[in-house]
Amino acid sequence: MLRVTCDGCGKELQAGEDHHVVKIEVFAAGDPAQLTEEDLDEDHMEVIAEMLRELEAEGEAANLEPSVRHFRYDLCAKCKLRYVRDPLGKEASTKFQFSKN
């Protein structure tokens, strides 16, 4: 039997209990592709070769972030309602007042 725990509050979810899944995909937003004369004139093979030379020079020190990240969270009914109301957690950040030390 698969045991599921709410990623919001830590509650263990029982079989048959409301269970919700949140899937998030994070990726770079690109501008619509509009080709210009400069794009057509540029030597793209040389640009790629330069990028490869830079990566080789950095060796293992180059910590490349993946271009796309996927996240999956299991939520109970109560945490699902809280998430849908404020998915970015902005509401929670305004509840605290910190001094300016």
* Tens digit of each residue's pLDDT (9 = 90 or more) over 40-78: 787 888 888 988 888 888 766 556 667 899 999 999 999
What is the structure's pLDDT at 15?
83
What is the structure's pLDDT at 101?
66
Separation of alpha carbons 42 and 90, rounded Å: 43
What is the structure's pLDDT at 47?
84
pTM of the model: 0.60
> Per-residue DSSP letters for 1-48?
---EE-TTT-PEEPTTS--EEEEEEEE---------HHHHHS-HHHHH
What is the structure's pLDDT at 64?
64
Tell me what percent of the residues of the chain surpass a pLDDT of 70: 80
Token code pair at residue 42: 């540029």
